[in-house]
Structure 1
Amino acid sequence: MDGKELESNVTYQVEPVGEWATARNVSVTTDAQPDENAEVQSIKSLNPITLEVTLSAPLVAEDLVLAKAQENFQFDNGLTIRNIPQLKTGTIATYYVPTTPQTSNMTYTLTYKDEMAGTFETNSDLIDMVEARQVAYDTIEIESSLRAGVTDYENVIASYVGKRNGLDFVLDQNNQYRGKNYEIIPSLRTAQVYITPEGGEPIVATYVPFTQATDGRQEPKFRLPAGETLIPGVEYTVTTDWADIKDSKFTAKAINPLTIRSVNEVNPTTLEVRLSSDPRDELFASRQIKLTAPDGTELVAQYKVTTRKGSTGIFEMMNGGKLEPNTMYSVTPVGQWAGLTFTTK
């Protein structure tokens, strides 16, 4: 490097000299030391549920735990942080911070680690979503389009670099890539939408964890409260206070449940559940099965998130339950999400 050294705390863009190679917006960031005393330097609302917060140094690991982040980031006017801050790819200490919905035309104050850190005004531009549709008897999904300039946060944060099967890229300081503006979908943990039947009252549906950007698709799932179902033949409208859904109406239909082909013990607290086909995405998420012993003892196992491999998922016993040795359990799905193609003796 002709005697020159990289300066610390600087992000360098990488471009090949000549035509021997191409670089897909690659950058190199020199070492920056996390600092527990990092201070907020700027706050910007990107949309009603996303902030972009730049600090003086990267956050220490202890501050990237949800409970600690909720303690550190305090807002007025009822606003709260929804999940941990995520470092924006290619930056030293700029973070996407997901929040509960910000009220339009509101100015908020952020208190960071008990110190007044600054104010920001809500950006009321709703996130553009393409379509809402039913995927199960109690679950819908809402699609967005990366091609149209809406990206899930997992594509543009440092912790997922190289883990997105080619979907990850680096946004500039204006959240542009190759001259194109991108809207950010942050972590949707605890996010909700309203599903309103024609002539009826809205039903609140809650985000299904780990479903917002799986299998290369941006289609977060939202599930009705336990016991609620979508009624076939009824038209529903989906609305939110954080997104604009272009095609927000769908007519519910009877959807065949998933089919369980086998349930096998991995160990006394873990089961492998195999379906007849790959459900894609994380449709296993939050689903449960009940196991009943000959003496009537019942156990409940729940899907362990992100363990799906094709048609197979891992389920773990709840409430400290354990399988008894040499016991044949009968299996039933909890709810209508699946049926069985095998019987137990």
Structure 2
Amino acid sequence: MTIGDHLHELYRLPAHAFPGPGTPVARLPEPDSVAWRVSADVYDSDESWTAAFARFCETVDTTRVRALIVGAWEEAYDSDPSDVVEALLAARDRLPALRALFLGDMVMEECEISWINQTDVAPLLAGFPALEEFGVRGGSGLGFTAVRHAALRRLVVETGGLPASVVRGIGASDLPALEHLDLWLGTPDYGGDSEAADLEPILSGARLPRLRHLALRNSEIQDAVAAAVAAAPVVARLEVLDLSMGVLTDEGAGALLSGQPLTHLKKLDLHHHYLSKALEEQVRQALEPAGVEVDLDRDDAEEETEEDGTVWRYVSVGE
């Protein structure tokens, strides 16, 4: 699976694309009623992203904007968004109401997820201390220097390969208000070089006192992640545990069931998995009678077996 749709909403507001250059500007929505998507063309762009953002700031009352989606920037497959970050930080005084920001909302026709060039995104969190939601797509060149952010409630990092340095940076950050953490760990083929041990600061929950939704998904090492989660202190306070989209087999699911009780959860999401029917049934019998919603949809998880017996299994989103 690849990314085929742009974000439909952000901060519970419907996404609305700011018109491109030369497009007649019809009556625009109220500035605080939508999540504004500002984009440029990845290929042969007639306008840079920073120029589009400048038009946006001239056209829309940015003092009322609550959610902003950074879409494609020119040559995203070859250029990182340093200029985008610089432009956003330069405009922070013009965005006093901004509470949600997503960087890199691109679909596969624009740039495959693992080809999106990124940069250190921690300066955006430092520059917007009132942000409540932050998301980023693309792991190539992605950085996340440890930060303290008192307001952030939701953090989403979507990649086909999440660098271990980013995992460790997030784990070292003080995020006392964070309720929702979603990390797509990916595969080594696309830079996902983290190990289960890198997740320990997150799984301890020491810096995440309000975490209720934890997603560690899309991972080639999903079994090792599940085994680490099985004994993780943070799990006791979770409402939703999401280990979906990865290469989860009977080994990982068995470790999860053999660990601490999960019957307090509202939902366990394991969709896109490689479990046997017997293990699927064990998971259901262990949790559904307690009222836990269990997602065991296999989605597009299909094994490939070579003549020599080698079995290939894949994460949901790679390239």
TM (norm. structure 2) is 0.29
Pick the structure with more strand per residue.
1
- Greater radius of gyration (CA): 1
Pick the structure with more helix per residue.
2
TM (norm. structure 1) is 0.27
